[in-house]
Amino acid sequence: MKSESQLKERSRLALKSRELEVEAEDRPHNPNCEMVRNVRQFELGDGEWNWAMESCEMVEIMKEEKSSLNEKKDNTHCIVAMLSPLTMSLLALLLISVSLIPATTFALCNEDDKQNLLIIRDSFGSSNPPWHSDIPCCDWPGIDCDATGHVTGMAILENPLIGPIPPAIGNLRYLQVVRLHKLPNLYGTIPPEIAKLSNLRFLTISWTGVYGSVPSFLANLTALEQLDLSFNKLSGFIPSSLGDLPKLYSIDISRNNLTGTIPASLLHKVSDSYLLLSHNNLTGPVPKSFQKVYFRRVDLSRNKLIGDASVFFGQSKSTQSIDLSRNKLMFDLSKVKFPEAELLSLDLNHNMIYGSIPKQITKVVNLQGFNVSYNMLCGEIPQGGKLGKLDKYSFFHNKCLCGPPLEPCT
């Protein structure tokens, strides 16, 4: 007869196992549990076979957690105590296989990566990140590692550190994510050593004092998907070589001092792209080649762009937000088609856009923002749809627009 405490413990473990079972259904195939799955050929009762499977999954979950198996061993012993000798033997084999897995699969840091992180830390002097050498670097704030202990992510956010971006960052060859954000005392140019990061997918250097040009060597980052260099002091041209990156779908270099034209090669290799270049000194026309690019968001506001920007429009496109405000753009708005199902926001204020507002705008079902003020538009403002919620400030200071919410047409 089992004692009352054993029955309570078994009931508690059963409930825990059921919770883990739900989680285990979504887990990838687990080879360590295959030996347990295959014991149906033996004379095991359904109840004991289920307990063996649940125990296996519980041990696997223990292995994946950063906490050691010792912290969980009491529960495991309770399970073993209630199994037959055959099941106990199977579970013993399983525990041996788990024990052979190197400890580095938990959170131990690759020693070379740790030393490079310490070089990065020390380069900032007394204002350095809170990375302590007596703690595994995979447990440091802002650091992520893979199963081998190599550093795959580094984020330093809102820190008073002072100095340039350390070249040692280029030695962290497994990095996939770099985020240097809201570091007002980070200065200097973007170091060429960053080009060594062949696995880098996401690069953010934003809200810093970094200056110089947008380096052409960023085109060596062939795995790059997102580039955010916004809110810095960068100047010069946008390198056309960024258009060679096969996976790059998001470019944000807004709020800098960029000059020159927008390269026609940008973002042609992927769909659902994001192009954010606002608050610069860019000149020239919008590339006609953008007609073939499917953007999700475009913000070219507050530049000195000229000419036709109708390339961003199209009924079949999936664009959600377009901001072309405060440029010198000139095109016939009456000839454009809007993406009816997708468009959320359109801002064209302070340009030289002419024609009339297409009635099709009333069919844009999710429209939340619309501003065509300070242009050269004429004709009656279409009524219906989401336009009825807009005030006069979305339409005023045009050549001859009329109708609600402006003055009546005569």
Residues 91 and 139 in one domain: no
Kindly state whether residues 256 and 325 are assigned to the same domain: yes
**Is pLDDT above 60 for 65?**
no
Q: What does the pLDDT average to over 299-318?
A: 96
Distance CA 329, CA 304 (A): 8
Judged by average pLDDT, the poorest of 60-64, 239-243, 244-248 is 60-64
> What are residue 360's phi and psi, to 5 degrees?
-60, -20
Residue 91: its pLDDT value, please? 45
Report the domain count for the chain.
Answer: 2
Domain boundary among 56, 72, 101: 101
Residue 408 falls inside a structural domain: no
Query: Is 159 a domain residue?
Result: yes
Q: Is residue 409 one of the residues assigned to a domain? A: no
With respect to residue 379, please indicate whether it lies within any of the assigned structural domains. yes
Q: Is residue 410 part of a domain?
A: no
Last residue of a domain, one of 47, 81, 101: 101
Q: Kindly state the average pLDDT of the residues 108-118.
A: 95
Q: Is residue 407 part of a domain?
A: no
Residues 67 and 151 in one domain: no
Considering the domain architecture, whether residues 130 and 18 belong to the same structural domain is answered as no
96 and 245 assigned to the same domain: no
Task: Let me know whether 46 and 122 are in one domain.
Answer: no
**How large is the average pLDDT for residues 37-43?**
35
Residue 106 lies in a domain: no
State whether 57 and 116 are in the same domain: no
Q: For residue 128, what pLDDT is reported?
A: 82
CATH of residue 119's domain is: 3.80.10.10
206 and 282 part of one domain: yes
Residues 75 and 120 in one domain: no
Q: Which of 101, 123, 144 is the last residue of a domain?
A: 101
Higher-pLDDT residue of 99, 406: 406
In which domain, by residue range, is 115 found? 111-402
For residues 253 and 325, membership in a common domain is answered with: yes
Tell whether 52 and 187 lie within a shared domain: no
pLDDT class for 107, splitting at 50, 70, 90? low
Considering 1-5, 8-12, 85-89, 124-128, the range whose residues carry the highest mean pLDDT is 124-128
- pLDDT tens across 352-389, in order? 999 999 999 999 999 999 999 999 999 999 999 999 89
- Helix (H), strand (E), coil (C) string for the chain: CCCHHHHHHHHHHHHHHHHHHHHHHCCCCCHHHHHHHHHHHCCCCHHHHHHHHHHHHHHHHHHHCCCCHHHHHHHHHHHHHCCCHHHHHHHHHHHHHHHCCCHHHCCCCCHHHHHHHHHHHHHCHHHCCCCCCCCCHHHCCCEEECCCCCEEEEEEECCCCCEECCHHHHHCCCCCEEEEEEEEEEEECCCHHHHHCCCCCEEEEEEEEEEEECCHHHHHCCCCCEEECCCCEEEECCCHHHHHCCCCCEEECCCCEECCCCCCCCCCCCCCEEEECCCCCCEEECCHHHHHCCEEEEECCCCEEEECCHHHCCCCCCCCEEECCCCEECCEHHHCCCCCCCCCEEECCCCCCEECCCHHHHHCCCCCEEECCCCEEEEECCCCHHHHHCCHHHCCCCCEEECCCCCCCC
Q: Are 27 and 57 part of one and the same domain?
A: yes
